[in-house]
Amino acid sequence: MTQVLLFATVISPFVVGFLEVVKRLAALPKNYIPLIAVVIGVVLGAVAYPFTDMDVTMRLWAGAGAGLSATGLFELVQKRKGHTKKIKEDA
């Protein structure tokens, strides 16, 4: 378990960085941001196999934990309206 927490701590800044890129590139509903962060964390955990000797399931758990820590667990249940980027209306 200590390895999972340590690995989540290491990849969490990368999750934050990739999440920020996604938020700036696409107009997404704000309530999907935590889900996207978890997906990014799981993907980063999966592709990090050359850097650790952990099981794939442990890396996936660490990635999910890093994704949750990137946005904050409370945002999963919080209702939010709006988008991350202003949508231009065609008029």
Domain residue ranges of the chain, discontinuous segments joined by +: 2-74
Contact 91, 40 (CB under 8 A): no
User: Length of the chain in residues, anyone?
Assistant: 91
Given CA atoms 32, 33, 36, 37 in this order, what sign does their dihedral have?
negative
Question: pTM of the entire structure?
Answer: 0.74
* Per-residue model confidence (pLDDT) at position 78: 59
* Per-residue model confidence (pLDDT) at position 43: 94
What are residue 83's phi and psi, to 5 degrees? -125, 165
Strand partners, 83: 29
Query: Can you count the helices (H) and strands (E) in the chain?
Result: 3, 0
